[in-house]
Amino acid sequence: MTHSQRIVVLDFGSQYTQLIARKIREVGVYAEIHPYSIEREQLEALQPQGIVLSGGPQSVYAEGAPHPSFDVFALGIPVLGICYGLQLIAWQLGGSVDKAARREFGRAELTIDDDGDLLKGLGSSTQVWMSHGDHLTAIPQGFDKIGHTANADICVVRNAERRIWGVQFHPEVHHTPLGTTVLRNFVIDICGCTPDWNAESFIESAVRSIQETVGNGGVICALSGGVDSTVTAVLLHRAIGKQVHCIHVDSGLMRQGESEQIVSLFKEHFQLSVDLVDGSELFLSRLEGVDDPEKKRKIIGGTFIDLFEVEAKKFSDAKFLAQGTLYPDVIESVSIKGPSQTIKTHHNVGGLPDRMNLSLIEPFRELFKDEVRAVGKALGIPDWFVERHPFPGPGLAIRIPGAVTAEKANILRKADAIYIEEIRNAGLYNEIWQAFAVLLPVKTVGVMGDERTYEYVCALRAVTSTDGMTADWYPFPYDLLATISSRIINEVRGINRVVYDVSSKPPATIEWE
C-alpha cells in the first residue's frame, strides 16, 4: 500500500520497537518498522519524513553490535535516537559511550534544560522510563544537552542544524506519561508530518489498492470467526462487492456457537452470504496423536488451505485468497524487521504451503489490532462484534496442550463458554484484552458426591494489553473466580479442578501454545 508520508523506525532489537510505531500512528502519522541493516537505496526509496532509531539490548561499542550499513545522519532527514539509538548517535558522531556506574531500569525524573522543540509541553520536569546499562560520557561536537536525570547527566541531546535528536529514556512506553507528546513533537513539529493517518484514510487507500490488485478476479475470503478476518471480509465487500466469496470453515475447533453466529452476522448486517464448510472430521483426524504445537499450527494452516482450494474451484473467477494477517503476526513469525527472535509461527503466516494456487491478499498486514478494530467500526460492524477478544486462527487446538481430540474440544468449549458468560455478567469483558480457558493434559484426583473422580484440570487466562505484544494478567475479584470455578466443575463433565494463570507477557506468551 502506498503512503504519502511515513516515519521509518529502524529496529536494533528492542522489545519496544513495535510500540514506537504504534505510538507514532496514534499521533496520526503512518510509521513502519525496518531492520537496522536496510540498504541506503531501500531507505531512500521509502522517502521517509523522519527516522527513529530504536533501543536494543547490546552495547553500541561491543563487537558485533548492530550498526547501520551507511551513514544515516548524512541523509538530511530528521533523526530521533531512543536509548541504544541515542548511544549510536554519540558513538558514530564523535561522542563517548561507557558502561554506567549504576544501571538504570524503571522510573526516573527528567529535568528539562531546553523546552524549545522535542521537549515542548513537558513543563520543567516529567516522569520517564529508563532501561539502560550504558550512558553517554561526552556528547558529539555541535550537540547540546537539553535534558538530564539524577543518574544520567546526558539524557536528551540535540543538533538542531543537522536535525538530530536523541533521548536516553523510552517515550513509547506507558510508564513515560508524556512520551506521546515527545513523539508528536518529533513527527509533527520537527518532521513536518500532517496527522492524517486514521481509519477512514486507511479504508480509502485500501479500497483503491484492492481494486487495482484484484481487477475482475474473484477473492476467496477465509472467515475464521475472529475480528481480523471479519473486518477483512467487510472491507473487501466495500471494495469489490460480489467478487468476494466468503467461506467459513468449521474446523471442530471453534468456540461454542461461533459458526452459526458468523453466518448470521454477515447475512443480517451486510447482506453477504457465507459458504459454511464442515471440516471438523478432517481437521481432527489430521491432528490425531500430534502434540507438538508448531506441527499442530502447520497441519491446521495446511488443512485450511486444502479446503479453501476445493471450495475455490466452485468459483471460476477465484484468483486470490484474503487473510486477516496483522503486523504483530508478521513480526512474531519471521524476523524480517530486525534482530528479533521468532517466538512462534502464526498459522496464517508460516503455515501456507508453497503449492497454494491462489495469490494472497492481506490488507491488514501493516496494522495493529486496535487499528483493525477502528477500521471495523468505521465500516459499520457492530461494536459487540468488533470489541470481541482475539481468537487464534488454529482455534481451540492451541488451548489444548498435547494431542487434540473431539472429546477434549467439547469439554473445553463448554468451560470456555461459562467463563466468558460470567465475565460478561460481571461487566468486565471490555476491560480485558483476551480471556479464554485452557484444557491441560493433566488429570487430578477429586471428590464429587462422596465418589472419587479423576478428571482434567482447566486453566483460566485473562490479560490486559493494547496490542498483544506485551500483556499483564487481569486481577479478577476472588468471588468471581470462585463462581466461575464452581460453575465449570459442576456443569462440565470431565473437569474437576480450575486454576488461574498469573503470568505476564513477557516472559510468558498470551496463548499457551
- Report residue 299 as a C-alpha cell: 497441519
Q: Which residues contact 444 (CB under 8 A, 6 or more apart)?
A: 454, 455, 457, 496, 497
The answer to whether 170 is a known catalytic residue is yes
- Report residue 432 as a C-alpha cell: 480485558
Amino acid in the structure at residue 55: G
Q: CA angle, corner 338, sides to 333 and 343, nearest 5?
A: 30
User: Residue for cell digits 473431539?
Assistant: 406
Choose, from 3, 26, 34, 83, the residue flagged as catalytic.
83
* End-to-end CA, the chain: 32
Q: Which residues contact 8 (CB under 8 A, 6 or more apart)?
A: 31, 32, 33, 34, 43, 46, 48, 50, 51, 52
What are the Cα distances from residue 268, in Å, to 58, 271, 292, 478? Answer: 54, 6, 40, 39
Choose, from 172, 362, 366, 511, the residue flagged as catalytic.
172
- Which three-class secondary structure state does DSSP give residue 146? strand
CA atoms within 13 A on the CB side of 385: 23
Question: 48 with 6: CB under 8 angstroms?
Answer: yes
The answer to whether 246 is a known catalytic residue is no
User: Across-strand partners of 461?
Assistant: 436
- Which three-class secondary structure state does DSSP give residue 488? helix
Query: What residue ranges in 271-313 does DSSP mark as E strands?
Result: 274-278
Question: 105 with 131: CB under 8 angstroms?
Answer: yes
Pairing of strands 472-473, 451-464: antiparallel
Q: Which letter does DSSP use for residue 191 in this model?
A: T
| Count of C-beta atoms within a 10 Å radius of residue 198 | 14
The span from the CA of 188 to the CA of 78, in Å, is: 11
User: Across-strand partners of 125?
Assistant: 111
Q: Which letter does DSSP use for residue 5 in this model?
A: S
Closest CA to 239 of 59, 49, 490, 1: 1
CA atoms within 13 A on the CB side of 78: 20
The span from the CA of 5 to the CA of 9, in Å, is: 13
Amino acid in the structure at residue 200: E
User: Residue for cell digits 536525570?
Assistant: 149
Choose, from 3, 135, 170, 245, the residue flagged as catalytic.
170
Total residues belonging to the chain: 513
| Count of C-beta atoms within a 10 Å radius of residue 403 | 15
Point out the residues that are catalytic. Answer: 83, 170, 172
